[in-house]
Amino acid sequence: MHGGMGYMAATAEQRLHPGHLLEGCRSVIVVAMSYHGSRPDSEAHPPDDRVWISRYAWGRDYHRILKKRLIRLGRELEALHPGSAWRAVVDTAPLLEREWAARAGLGWIGKNTMLLNRRLGSELFLGALLSDLEFEPDTPATDHCGRCTACLDACPTGAFPKPYVLDARRCIGYLTVEHRGEIDPKLAPAMGEMVAGCDRCNEVCPWTKRAPTDLHAEFAPAPHRYRPLLADLEALDEEGWKLWRQGSALGRIPFKQLKRSLAVARSNYDRAENQRRDAEAQRHRTVATTKTRRHKGPSHSGDEG
């Protein structure tokens, strides 16, 4: 169910064994930073001529932020243990960060396949420091999803065939960020105004809803990336897109792919506008008919005597 991400299956064995990334690796130190913000959820806005960029891309590129901190931690460990080896990994090397995070006690993997933390929720950036030093392991977290199915029920495209299983081929996050082909016409209407990622399964999670917001200024929304106008993005050329996304985590979306997603959003918007106009016209016709009937006097027949 990896869709076009064949590398996931090809590197499955390597992802399970960090020794492929750092010879002699004996510990995996996993870190998390919350990007949960106080801005309204994607569903909080009535349909309009704006598009949705996923929260993960609102602020500065998390790869650089976490990598810099992990490198600093690695150097501190090396200073304490001269000759030790380490490697910082942030979503760019074949490592199952979520699985290692769960083993390290940072949280559990929820029904939406995201890492969940009881205090921070599920909107988390993960990174790892591989080390050839041996540390006392933390206790893995237990699952606290219970009977809740909010994330599964909220998915616009039905990308969860069952709890804890994601079909990437139907996931809007995959379709707008990783998928390089055409969008399945059956899925396109459900994408709505989303052109770069999707936040629905995270937004509805009770643990995320109660999590603290705006913990890291680095991930505060850049004004132009929070609900931008569809027309503004459509007006960009390739160089303009590179400037627009500069400093963010949107580097994986090439211009051609953006234009494809914008075309889907435009089609969805136009259809919604046509439906709105039709409904408005029908409402006016109904009101006009009602008024006509209300003011029409009684009919008379015969001569007045």
pLDDT, mean of each 10-residue run, the chain (305 residues): 54 74 96 97 91 98 98 98 97 92 97 98 98 96 97 98 97 97 96 97 98 98 97 98 98 97 97 88 76 61 48
Out of 91, 167, 214, 232, pick the active-site residue.
Answer: 91
Please say whether the beta carbons of 170 and 75 come within 8 A: no
CA distance 203 to 136: 34
Residue 11: the pLDDT is 58
Residue 304: the pLDDT is 46
Residue 208: the pLDDT is 98
Helix 255-295 and helix 238-245, axial crossing angle in degrees, nearest 10: 90
Residue 305: the pLDDT is 43
CA distance 173 to 194: 9
Residue 263: the pLDDT is 98
132 carries an active-site annotation: no
Residue 297: the pLDDT is 57
> Under 8 Å CB-to-CB from 265, ≥6 apart: which residues?
51, 191, 192, 193, 194, 195, 230
Question: Residue type at 160?
Answer: F
Burial class (CB in 10 A: 0-12, 13-18, 19+), 222: middle
End-to-end CA distance of the chain: 87
Residue 47: the pLDDT is 83
Nearest to 205 by CA among 137, 129, 138, 152: 152
Residue 195: the pLDDT is 98
Give the ranges where the chain is alpha helix by DSSP (H): 6-10, 12-16, 62-80, 97-103, 150-154, 172-177, 188-191, 200-203, 206-209, 230-234, 238-245, 255-295
